[in-house]
Amino acid sequence: MKRHLRTLLLLASLTAGGCTDMGSDVEIQTPLPSVLGIHPDSAAAGDTVTISGANFGPSQGSSGVTFPPGVTASVILSWSNDTIVVVVPAGATSGSISVSVGSRTSNGIQFISAAPPDTLVHFQTGVLPILLNNCAIPSCHSGSNPTSQFNASTYAGVRKGGATFGANVVIPFDSTNSQIMHMIRSSNNLIGLRMPQGGPYAATGLPDSLIVRIGAWIHQGALNN
């Protein structure tokens, strides 16, 4: 009986004095962001690249993308939990790209800085052959009734642009907003299909070297040369 009374008195004392050990707060960690790929993996400053992965969050907020050697991208075109479309910032070099979400940083993925060539890229010898072999092919962007009214077989046709994008297909000095770059880089575009849909690179997409060449031509003013 005495033991039971002492137990009751002890419980009453604890209740009256308040419980001082309610446990510590448990920090809820958000999933670590993970970068799985970047396309293309080589691009020049001002070009658009697409980063794929997981746990980026539904919107950018205070999150960001860091290019080597520690340059934060200032232009994010779109941000979702698994895809980021970003413009390569000035000063970016070859190295590892990472994504930061809050205080957590993803793994890095290799990026190659491909500065536009110092020599002028000519439309007739550098760009038109790419278009003729991959875009301006039968039943596609050529002939009297080309797909989307976009004739890629001539300079005039390329600059006219067609029914979908108009003159925004190629915007001189601005490869970031030139829609042809969005179309050949990935399927993350208005059509939802990566171009070209025919030719030797229909299954894989144009090689990065050819994409960078077209981008360089646009950077240099998209001249009829």
Q: Coil, strand, or helix at residue 128?
A: helix
- For the entire predicted model, the pTM comes to 0.58
For residue 118, the model assigns a pLDDT of 64
Burial bucket for residue 225 (CB in 10 Å: 0-12, 13-18, 19+): middle
**How does DSSP classify residue 169?**
G
* Number of residues written out for the chain: 225
Report the DSSP pairing between strands 71-72 and 83-87.
unpaired
Distant-in-sequence contacts of 122-131, Cβ < 8 A, 24+ apart: 122/217, 122/223, 122/225, 123/155, 123/217, 123/222, 123/223, 123/224, 123/225, 124/225, 126/213, 126/217, 127/213, 127/214, 127/217, 128/155, 130/206, 130/210, 130/213, 130/214, 131/158
Domain spans, the chain: 34-113, 123-219
Give me the average pLDDT of each 10-residue run along the chain (225 residues).
47 45 53 91 80 96 95 93 91 92 93 74 94 93 93 96 93 89 84 90 86 89 95
Q: Which residues pair with 51 in a beta bridge?
A: 38, 84
C-alpha to C-alpha distance for 88 and 69, rounded to whole angstroms: 12
**C-alpha distances in Å from residue 181, one per residue of 8, 14, 68, 109:** 78, 71, 23, 22
C-alpha to C-alpha distance for 115 and 47, rounded to whole angstroms: 10
Find out whether 134 and 211 touch, Cβ atoms under 8 Å: no
For residue 7, the model assigns a pLDDT of 47
pLDDT in tens, 26-71: 445 678 999 999 987 777 777 788 999 999 999 999 999 999 999 9
3-class secondary structure for 20-44?
CCCCCCCCCCCCCCEEEEEECCEEC
93 token code pair: 């070099």
**How does DSSP classify residue 102?**
T
What's domain 34-113's superfamily in CATH? Answer: Immunoglobulins (2.60.40.10)
